[in-house]
Each structure stands twice: as C-alpha cells, then as structure tokens.
A and B are shown apart, each in its own frame.
With several copies, the nearest count.
Chain A
Amino acid sequence: MTRATVLYFASLRDAAGIASEVVDSDAVDLAALYTQLRARHGFKLERDRLRVAVDATFATWQDKLREGSEIAFIPPVSGG
C-alpha cells in the first residue's frame, strides 16, 4: 500500500465533500487511483476530461503512486 495526499478542487471537491484526504492505495498508477476514488466519491467526470498533478507539477496517468506525494486531479479549468 502506498500512502499519499489527494487534493480536490471545484466540482470534485463538491462531490467528495472534502478538500483533501490521505489515502492508502494499492493502485498501480494514477489512472487506477482515480478509478478507485471515483467509485468511492461518485465523481461524474470521466478521467479523459481531467489532468493529474503530483507535488504541484503536471504528471501522466501512467505515473506510479509515490509514498508521501501530493496528488491533484485537475478538472477542466475556467479562469480568465
């Protein structure tokens, strides 16, 4: 099991009801982690509409979970 912090923003945060949580997961990569958390929180957003970041840097879905890392799922942005 790998322990990581997950941050939620915008509609993901509303759906999860929390801004962040610490998870212990056996997900092989970030894609699998999103699948697990999507099932847990009932996220409506498909993975291909999101980007993913690790420790405040954009990452790829195939990246492995790193112990102690901070993971964020990035919904479509709407700044400006």
Chain B
Amino acid sequence: MDAARFQLAATPFDVATLRAGLLDPGVGAYASFEGWVRQHNDGRPVRGLRYEAYAALAATEGERILQQALQEFDILDARCTHRTGDLVVGELAVWVGVTAAHRAPAFAACRFVIDEVKARVPIWKHERYRGGQTTWLP
C-alpha cells in the first residue's frame, strides 16, 4: 500500500518532496495550497501556536476527504499534510496538493480539500500572543 494521502507531521515537512510524489506524465495541472502561521490573527499579535490532533480520527477523516475529492472531481491525485506541535510565525501549517489533466478541477478540488479539512478534521489550534496570553480557537 502507498503512503496515506493524508498525513500528520510532528516536525517541519518538505513541500518539494510531497510535490515530487505527485509527478506523473498524465498531469497537466498541479494546484497547491499552504497555510502559514501569520503574525496577527483577528488583530492580536501572534507569537506562535500549537496544533493538537486526535491522530487516529484525524487520519481516517482526512483520508475520507481526499477520497471524496478523488470521486467528486476529475483529478488524478490529492494529498494533504498537516503539522502538529509547536509552530512559530512563518512556519508551514498545512499543505494540500492536487493533480489533474486540466486546471479547473485541480483548483476546485484543492479548495474543497482545505475547506473540508478545516471544517471536519479533529485538529485544534492553540495560539500564543505577545504578552503571554493563550487561547484555543475558535
């Protein structure tokens, strides 16, 4: 069996390697999305954050989303990796990569995957602010 399409990464991960896993002579279009840690959220200065996951459920739910994308869009592959643990401003939090023959389904599926991951996968963001306060989002 191939590596799972949805992965949690406890340490920084390399987008170039993930992208290389999607290379295929049938691909004409590669759409990707990355979430990076911003220095502000809702006007508050962010120092960093921690992502916590319910790993077993996140894996099955993430995989389900990618399988749905493969069924609903005319694409060749779809993958997603999400960080857990402590991140600082500027760090990569999540990557979605989708390949297709043509660009319209690649874009649509990429958007679908990140929207569904944010809505459904059991991962929680704990933000640390300058000044020392912290909060769970949302």
Does chain A bind chain B? yes
Is there contact, CB below 8 Å, between B82 and A79? yes
For the complex, give the distance between the alpha carbons of A16 and B52 in Å.
16
Nearest residue (CB) in A for B124 is A10
- How far, in angstroms, from A16 to B136 measured CA to CA in the complex? 15
- Min Cβ gap A8→B in Å is 10
* Interface segment out of the listed B15-23, B71-79, B112-120: B112-120
Of chain A, the residue at the smallest CB distance from B119 is A77
Q: Is the CB of B136 within 8 A of A14?
A: yes
Chain B residues, CB < 8 A from A77: 118-124
Chain B residues touching A, range: 20 to 34
B138 touches A80 (CB 8 A): no
Q: A7-B54, A9-B54, A53-B54 are in contact. Are A80 and B122 (CB under 8 A)?
A: no
Which residue of A has the minimal Cβ distance to B53? A79
B126 touches A (CB below 8 Å): yes
A79, B57: Cβ atoms closer than 8 Å = no
Cβ of B124 and Cβ of A78 under 8 Å apart? yes
- CB nearest neighbor in A for B57: A56
Pair B93/A78 contact, Cβ less than 8 Å: no
Q: What's the least CB distance linking A25 to chain B, in Å?
A: 21
Residues of chain B contacted by A9 (CB below 8 angstroms): 52, 54, 122, 124
- Distance, CA A79 to CA B124, complexed state (A): 5
Given contacts A10-B136, A79-B82, 14 further A-B contacts (CB under 8 A): A9-B124, A10-B126, A72-B54, A72-B122, A74-B57, A74-B122, A75-B124, A75-B136, A78-B123, A78-B125, A80-B35, A80-B93, A80-B117, A80-B118
Shortest Cβ-Cβ A-B pairs, 3 listed: A79-B123, A80-B118, A56-B56
